[in-house]
Structure 1
């Protein structure tokens, strides 16, 4: 051992102390040796001074070594203890080890070699015990920290659950408020629109040109406000899962032509061409005609709004697997690829500023996305900034209603409407993207 060891010899026999001292010296132990003759002095010195090892006589005049060991351990005084005993009793040795002795050595076997061996062994055992105790303390501390962290996590989880509950409750209240307010606003708006239309009829009122112009403005703004109110109402119903599809068999080409005719005046006001191309062998579908028209009106409205010159056209064609595609193209400002996902989010517009050029609620595409989904369809977007956009809606020719709904009667399809599975209904453009689904499945 290279380090200088502090060793204490506790023995009431000076000769025995000398034997230990000489033995350790002859063994070449580099040490600082102290000696005491009784248990009380040993306890006192060990209470204030740290030693690397203690050689303790089993039988002291004032007390047994076993008693001193018990006192030291009960006082949390930790030091390697080698008991020197004149007895060859294994039972005594077991008692000593149980009490806290590190090792023992019979006085009859004291020699430089045995002393050095017992000393090194006692120090190794003691250090190993200290490492185990340290590891246990660290493990206990880690366990306590984990318990505290788990308690903190449970507390945070409870807070999150409470916050989620409050958010859900607030969302329901918001949806209810939107639905209520939209319903309440529709009544006066319908009255404004109705009376404005009456005033514009020549047989009901003789208006000057200036008066007629003002009434027309009232009528147009009223229709615009009603459209915004209806969007909010539809959104609140979709969000609450309360929008019902009223499916029936209808001629999809007639619905498309009706929607186009309603939007033609807006296109003509901007000198835009509005074209329709229908490529359907069978124009009958089983769906909600009002909602299909709403989808097309919203798409055409956006196309006209964001197109300053050129044309807007609608194309309807057959798809494999008994599906129908409705495409609305324009030569407008286009959409950057980074904005493809954002435009389908509720209340989201590419330009969110208050001074934006193109007004609106930001609900149109979100409503379209949700309606297409509950119809069992898909929506795709193909666009390039500055080069126009193409929205493609794929719908089943015959939608499936939820349990309890009206079953669809069979549609009469001729044999020419069976398509090869090798046909690809999607566009091959690298910029084609399927629209993200922004809402969960709604109840019908």
Structure 2
């Protein structure tokens, strides 16, 4: 069904009979209404749908031009086609500039020219209407985006404030741990010192039961001291106060020295150390004390989680100028999900492991941080029930912080 064109004719019924006749003969399917009073026309436009307006009340005089301007200012957006008996081009141009869609000279009017004018005006109106709707949508979207940006900015500021609070809380925690561990270590060293004196029996003999109790005191003191040292190291690392002290040393000797220190732990579980060192030159320049700490953490960790089998330590050249240390065990292994968190501070795979294998969960976190400071990298591979392999890659020579300073 063809859409109906609703046309309002603002003019005289007798004078505009030709317009009505032309509209009826056109293919526009038009319905017309003639209103002579401008006020009545405005009320009609405000209350009814109107496709276009024909204006035939002296449109080229000042009042006509003013009326067109007023209609546009009052929000009348539909096409306004002026009808005039005159042919004054300047006045017609002025009328168009004031808001008229077209101006037709009655003496030249034909059904075809009228139809063409209406269609052209309607096409322009529809294009402008689409543009207005698009602009409105853009304004709404822009307003929404601005609101979202304001909300995001508020959230960013809130997150920033929270981060600052968290950083401050973390700093306070780190400082607190540093102070507490220092305070604990002092009396702990005294306890261990006195237990060694008692164990030596230099101040008098002890019976077997007393010797066993003193040995337990010393052993537990050592365990506690290791935990305290781990916490202290982590607090120093987190506060960026740890400095390396590079020195030249024999890596082969350092590894065998470390294994000798840990052999009693391995012997208790009947575990064997197997070493393979494939280096033509074993001297490197790094922080020997911190590298030994990394090795102790990795190897003692392997002992802790291995009940049978062996701990394999291998050292190979790593191109272009580096070394790779591998610590491989035949222990319980780690799941793929747990591998992602294994280097996080205080992390242990699950509570069952934590109950059976005491510790702070700081060893691997400390190892990773120290290796990174030594310009190296540490990786891990594992399969549940088959064991775990840690690989530490390091340069043979690291930069001397004192020389850099």
Q: TM-score, normalised by structure 1?
A: 0.81
1:303-322 to structure 2, matched below 5 A, reads 303-316=302-315, 321=320
Query: 1:156-203 deviations in whole A, cap 9, x for unaligned?
Result: 222232223223222322222222222222112111211211221222
Task: Flag the 1:303–1:96 CA change in 2: closer, same or farther, 3 A.
Answer: same
Match of 1:3?
3
Q: Does 1:36 align with 2:10?
A: no
The match for 2:365 is 366
Alignment check: 8 A CA contact 1:287 1:398 kept: yes
> Is the contact made by 1:39 and 1:63 (CA closer than 8 Å) also made in structure 2?
no
- How big is the shift at 1:272? 2.5
- 1:430-441 maps to which residues of 2 (within 5 A)? none
Gap regions ≥5 residues in structure 1: 407-444
Check the 8 A contact 2:192/2:218 in 1, yes or no: yes
Residue in 2 aligned with 1:424?
Answer: none
Which deviates the most, 214-223 or 167-176? Answer: 167-176
Contact 1:306–1:332 (Cα < 8 Å) also in 2: yes
CA offsets 1:261-280 (integer angstroms, 9 cap, x no match) = 32222222222234556565
Residue 262 (structure 2) pairs with residue 263 (structure 1) = yes
1:388-403 alignment runs, 5 A limit: 388-402=387-401
- 1:352 deviates by 4.2
Q: 1:2 to 1:337 in 2, by over 3 A?
A: closer
Q: CA deviation at 1:227?
A: 0.2
Map 1:419-438 → 2, pairs under 5 A: none
- Find the counterpart in structure 2 of residue 437 from structure 1: none
Question: In the TM superposition, what are the counterparts of 1:296-335 in structure 2 within 5 Å?
Answer: 296-316=295-315, 321=320, 323-335=322-334
User: Across the two proteins, how many residue pairs are aligned to each other?
Assistant: 404
CA contact (8 A) 2:198 2:214 kept: yes
Match of 1:157 in 2: 156
Q: Which moved more, 1:286-295 or 1:376-385?
A: 376-385
TM-score (normalised: structure 2): 0.88
CA RMSD of aligned residues (A): 2.8
TM-superposed CA distance for 1:28, in Å, is 5.1
User: CA deviation digits over 1:240-275, x for unaligned, max 9?
Assistant: 222122223334444333322322222222222345
| Mapped partners of 1:88, 1:268: distance in 2 | 117
1:295 partner SS: helix
1:121 partnered with 2:120: yes
Query: Deviations 1:367-423 (Å, cap 9, x if unpaired)?
Result: 2222222223343445433233343434334332135369xxxxxxxxxxxxxxxxx
**C-alpha spacing 1:399/1:275, structure 2 compared with 1 (3 Å):** same
Residue of structure 2 equivalent to 1:440: none
Compared with structure 1, are the counterparts of its residues 382 and 152 closer, same or farther at alpha carbon in structure 2 (3 Å cutoff)?
A: closer
Q: 1:307 to 1:79 in 2, by over 3 A?
A: closer
* Partner Cα distance (1:179, 1:398) in 2: 31
Structure 2 vs 1, CA of residues 109 and 359 (structure 1 numbering), >3 Å: closer, same or farther? same
Does the CA-based 8 Å contact 1:39-1:65 persist in structure 2? no
Structure 1 stretch displaced more, 155-164 or 215-224: 155-164
Deviation at 1:230, TM superposition (A): 0.6
Q: 1:248 to 1:127 in 2, by over 3 A?
A: closer
Residue 78 (1) aligns with residue 68 (2) = no
